[in-house]
Amino acid sequence: MTAIDPALQPELELLLDAVGPLRLRNCPLSPAPRQEAFLRLPHEEILFGGAAGGGKSIALLMTAAQYSDVPGYDALIVRSTLAELEHPGGLIELSHDWFSRTKASWLGEQRAWRFPTTSRSGADAPTIRFGYLNSPADVNRYSGSAFSFLGFDELSHVEEISYRRMFRVLRQASTAPDLARSPDGLTLADVPVRIRATANPGGPNHSWIKAYFVNPESRKPSVAFVPSRWQDNPHLDLDNYAQQLAHLPLSERKRLMDGDWDIADEGEMFERSWFELVERDALPKTNRAVRYWDFAASQPTIRNPDPDYTVGLRLEIDDRTGIYYITGITRKRLHAGQVEELVKATAQADGQHVEICIEQEPASNSSILAEYFKREALRQYAVTTNQPNGSKEARARVVAVHAENGRIKLVPGPNMEAFLDEIAVFPNGRHDDCVDALTGAHAKLGVRRRATAWSVPRGTIPGWERPAYYNFYLPGFE
């Protein structure tokens, strides 16, 4: 361990005084530095995520137990299934290893630990419970409850709508002034309400977790991210673990060894590295541009917790070089009325020189909506419609060839990371709205005006004997 510079000791003491002493209860282990950060940080929501083997689950149980001596305290730890909690080496087995050494009692049917309380009735005994959250409907299992602590082990298996809906049970059961106190004088009113989660990169929920917790530009001030590194876990056989991970595919190995959140699950068609980033100031000035819209007027519901996005992707092409530039990505979940407002505002921001193309999907009402935009909402703009032919994979394969050859570049901006995450996992990901918008825009710009020639044999036109063929050039399409 690196020694602390004596000159920094006064500042360190002031920092520790401000944070306060580390509170550990019913825990036989001392936390590693990153586990301690997970325990100490005051944010309402914290993700301990990244590399596998970093002691994340241990840190989660440590954090749940921090106030397990305060009367009325109730903590809940969930995974996507109970089997994952109950399997050998899981959190329930770990809790038995820890709490069976204390005066706590295990309530098997409830899958909960009940800890001693200072009150006479025992009705406010602190508890740590275990549960599951396999779908948004499972949130209803906890309706009417009040938890001071919510822990999500392996959040990558939990849908975003399920995570958000659990906020309804994050509250203190009581904050009355006459509450019973813990041995060191705390009441339930002194306990912060907290959500703590663990996750590895990858999986079907990679994108929303990355945007919500990891990306500093998109996460809220009340949310923090603690990177997990397996090298920091003092309870891990590092050499043996490194040898095990070395057998994994490169992308999975980088996620689990390096905690790399820029690598989602592999797809079969695109790679993130193919899309070179180009600053807007470096773009050619003579580009043709189209904003291609793929509509999905919906918001999350219980029946459809993860609906598609409305995506408007702006693509430009330099006809001199044949290079494409993705210069803007709009990606939102909206009601139908909000979609119209978004499209009109985007068209105004783009300007009339940017063509607008709206995708019409077979067997849907998108054709009616597209005609409405053409005739009413966007009358002053150049608006066309497009009904894609062939499968999504076939259309994307054409674009992938251009991308692999470095002919599609990306201007940094909003939703860039979401676009790269989605396209990197296509066609195995949950969403493909950005891919559809890119392939549609690419096909639209690929139709390039040029002079087209027809040759007419000699003698076809009376009086025109020479030359052998007459060539006529008319505007056409490639």
pLDDT at residue 149 greater than cutoff 70: yes
Residue 330, Cβ density class (10 Å: 0-12 exposed, 13-18 middle, ≥19 buried) = buried
Q: Which two tokens stand for residue 114?
A: 């009940």
Provide the pLDDT for residue 439: 95
pLDDT greater at residue 1 or residue 331? 331
HSE at residue 122, side-chain half, CA atoms within 13 A, is 5
pLDDT band at 18 (very low <50, low <70, confident <90, very high): low
Provide the pLDDT for residue 455: 43
Closest among 188, 92, 91, 195 to 150, alpha carbons compared: 195
Contact 162, 133 (CB under 8 A): yes
pLDDT at residue 471 greater than cutoff 60: no
Q: How far apart are CA 95 and CA 75, in angstroms?
A: 13
pLDDT band at 267 (very low <50, low <70, confident <90, very high): low
Provide the pLDDT for residue 74: 97
pLDDT at residue 449 greater than cutoff 50: no
pLDDT at residue 456 greater than cutoff 70: no
pLDDT band at 241 (very low <50, low <70, confident <90, very high): low
CATH fold, domain 17-258, is Rossmann fold (3.40.50)
Q: How far apart are CA 3 and CA 15, in angstroms?
A: 17
Q: What CATH number belongs to 272-447? A: 3.30.420.280
Q: How far apart are CA 395 and CA 390, in angstroms?
A: 7
User: Where along the chain do its domains lie?
Assistant: 17-258, 272-447, 449-478
Provide the pLDDT for residue 174: 83
pLDDT greater at residue 51 or residue 477? 51
Do 17-258 and 272-447 come out as alike in CATH topology?
no
Provide the pLDDT for residue 454: 40
**288 strand-pairing partners:** 317
pLDDT at residue 250 greater than cutoff 70: no
pLDDT average, residue stretch 18-26: 81
Q: How far apart are CA 198 and CA 322, in angstroms?
A: 45
Provide the pLDDT for residue 167: 96
